[in-house]
Structure 1
Amino acid sequence: MSSIKQWLKPWSSTLCVENVPLDLREVGIISGYRLEHQPWSYYIKSIFKLHNETFNVWTHFLGALAVLYNLKYSFDDLNPRETKARELLVLFTICCLITNLTSSVVHLFHSKSHFIHYIGVLMDYIGVSVYPFGTAILQMYIGANRTVYYAIHDIFIYLNICLGLINFIGVALAKLYLSHPSMKVQRKLLQAGSGVIYFIFIAYRDFSRAFLRPNCQMSTLGHVAGLGILLISMGAMYSFLFPERFWPGRFDLIGHSHQMFHVIATMAQIIQIKGVVVDVQIHGSDVAYDISEPNMAALYRSLYVLLFVDFCVLSVLIKKIVIPKTKYQ
């Protein structure tokens, strides 16, 4: 018990906001900032110290483990012959792991310098583009009804790549051009807005699954409603910085919006996995799952293409914006 209490004490090797460069400050976070320009080992050891990034690191790392556990649990609930559902769940889980683990690593190291901060955050945004990309695939081949499936089947892979790229470019440019703390709320709103098209694209197919299916079950409605509430909550937490924006200093270490954003994201991923099991177990004649034959090789290639294009854009942003922006910092 004493060791737990000792760990819960704020790490002495941290700074107050007045001693932190403007670009690295967080709205409503007054203390707990780690030092800049320290050895890499300093940041690795900080995993086990209490500062304002500790739970940002652990929530996504433990979230990745929770998603893996639920994938295994869902496999136990699926009929062994449901190979399509299993393959799609594996691909979705890979997308979740990319998102969660990338974010966890970035939160661990981004305080090292301005350059590392911007590179790390942009890498994190690549993960941000991958999660809805995987969600769209999951819903297309299991959740959509026949009308929606046939309407976009021929262009779905290309459309999904384009939306993922637009999402990445939107959040990246917002970060690079609205980095000052006084513009953080505007930046968060713009970043959330860059994913609105993706959200509508996904939400429409959820709507069609829940309300246009003649024999929709209450369990399906529950998963759709639960996922919608969580996704909206994620956007609200991310954009409005609640509660730390309104009570500065009270949630520096535990309880600020980004930590809750991570937790809600993991809950949404788990609900999506469980929703697939429900859909497969009770699917009716109007479900894409009955008719679709996803080409898994093509879907994996589309993920590789998205990652490749994102990294190409990242390299341009580093050369044209990040290096000049951090050259004298």
Structure 2
Amino acid sequence: MPRVSLSCPSLHPALVLLRPFLSRLPPLPQPVRDTDVPTLFREPYILSGYRPVGLPWRCYFYSLFQMHNETLNVWSHLLAGVCIALRFGAFAVFRGGGVLGLRLQGPEGQGLSLDPPSLPLVIYVFSSLSYLSCSTAAHLFQSHSELAHYSLFFLDYLGVAIYQYGCAMALYFYSSDPAWRHSGLGEIYLPAAALLAWLSCASCCFAKLHYRRPYPLHRKFCQVVPTGLAYLLDISPVAHRLATKSWASNSALPLHGLQVALFMLSSFFFSCPVPERFAPGRYDIIGHGHQLFHLLLSLCTLAQQEALFQDFLSRRPALVREFGEERLLLACASFPCLALCSALTAVALRRRARTRLSKEQT
């Protein structure tokens, strides 16, 4: 067990204003170098800023206010989740009833009934908050132990799968054109999106468990290829609109173009350890590739949400007529099924991780 220092956590200048609050926190150990943590917790070209392994859970929670190499990863998705929740709340209030999946009924507006046209939007917001909160938890607590590291990143991949399918469902109902929906791709879109979302979760969990550091290149392919295929399929209705419609004719299209550009840029930083590869140790705390990936992905989600709000407002009145209420409800019912299948896959691989770690310790 690492010795806990009685010194206060080092403060970045950006946190100086919080000094009165931070002074009330219990003392935390200072971040350590990569050689002081097991290989599992090390990242390529990141030489310092690691939190010691094996501390009480509360120490990792309090490290939310300490500068280390996960601080920006945590805060970027935490703040993005808060922004998405607040923005959706404001949208629901100022755009009228029914946007939360329920609608008022009766001569005096008493009583509630299900509002199928808004359910995919609710699922989308829930899925966005799921991936952001799972990612926040994973990066905040993963240093506790090897089992926690595996378990929390499996949770992270589960959140990504949930988001992929929630996003696909919203884009299908709100952002697709009839010409695309009647194409061969449009006919199989939702089942294929569900399959690829589950495959993305399963392959990422498998790659995390199966390969050891230093990771071979094909581990990255095992993670990137299913996720990339899922994205290409999920974004296809938007790509069709961007390619066939005038961007000036619809206020949502520039936002869709922005979210695609931000996602492509974030994918580059996820796949390539840049800029830390060219200056190991220089970007340990601020500026390494995974932090840039988090920031860009957060901005991408915010832009995507705004685009979907615009599409929702323009297409909501005709949604039941175009798709039918039963089809909307059936599609929404498939969402918890996908979430359950992905969760069971993550749980099964966590059990394998626990069994393997137990054997290694005996």
Q: TM tier, shorter chain?
A: 0.7 to 0.9
1:253 to 266, 280, 285: 285
TM-score by length of structure 1 reads: 0.86
- Structure 2 residue aligned with 1:3: 16
2: CA distance between counterparts of 1:227 and 1:50?
29
2: CA distance between counterparts of 1:328 and 1:245?
32
1:19 to 36, 52, 66: 36
- Structure 1 residue aligned with 2:310: 278
Task: Write out per-residue CA displacement over residues 150-188 of structure 1, whole angstroms, 9 at most, x where no aligned residue.
Answer: 4467655433321211111121122222331343x6533
**Is 1:35–1:111's contact at 8 Å kept on the other side of the alignment?**
yes
- Structure 2 residue aligned with 1:55: 72
Question: Relative contact order: is structure 1 or structure 2 higher (C-alpha 8 Å, sep ≥ 6)?
Answer: 1
Q: Greater CA deviation, 37-46 or 11-20? A: 11-20
- Structure 1 residue aligned with 2:227: 195
**Is 1:149–1:288's contact at 8 Å kept on the other side of the alignment?**
no
Where do residues 170-319 of structure 1 align in structure 2 (5 Å cutoff)? 170-183=203-216, 186-213=218-245, 217=249, 219-281=251-313, 291-293=322-324, 295=327, 297-319=329-351
1: CA distance between counterparts of 2:358 and 2:320?
49
RMSD of aligned alpha carbons: 3.0
Q: Greater CA deviation, 75-84 or 168-177? A: 75-84
- Structure 2 residue aligned with 1:123: 155
**Quick check: 1:145 aligned with 2:158?**
no
1:245 and 1:268, CA in 2 relative to 1: closer, same or farther beyond 3 A?
same
Task: Write out per-residue CA displacement over residues 85-124 of structure 1, whole angstroms, 9 at most, x where no aligned residue.
Answer: 6433221110011101111111111111111111111111
3-state SS of 1:245 partner: helix
Q: Greater CA deviation, 106-115 or 203-212? A: 203-212
1:289 and 1:222, CA in 2 relative to 1: closer, same or farther beyond 3 A?
farther
3-state SS of 2:138 partner: helix
Gaps of 5+ in 2: 1-12, 23-27, 100-114
**Is 2:165–2:197's contact at 8 Å kept on the other side of the alignment?**
yes
1:84 and 1:276, CA in 2 relative to 1: closer, same or farther beyond 3 A?
farther
Work out the number of aligned pairs and report it. 324
Task: Write out per-residue CA displacement over residues 48-93 of structure 1, whole angstroms, 9 at most, x where no aligned residue.
Answer: 2111112222211111101112213433564657766643322111
1:113 to 142, 145, 157: 145
Gaps of 5+ in 1: none
Larger radius of gyration: 2
2: CA distance between counterparts of 1:85 and 1:246?
50
TM-score by length of structure 2 reads: 0.79
1:25 and 1:213, CA in 2 relative to 1: closer, same or farther beyond 3 A?
same
Structure 1 position 288, deviation (Å): 7.0
Task: Report percent identity of matched pairs.
Answer: 24
1:87 to 88, 112, 119: 119
1:246 and 1:203, CA in 2 relative to 1: closer, same or farther beyond 3 A?
same
**Quick check: 1:39 aligned with 2:42?**
no
2: CA distance between counterparts of 1:283 and 1:307?
27
Structure 1 position 224, deviation (Å): 2.4
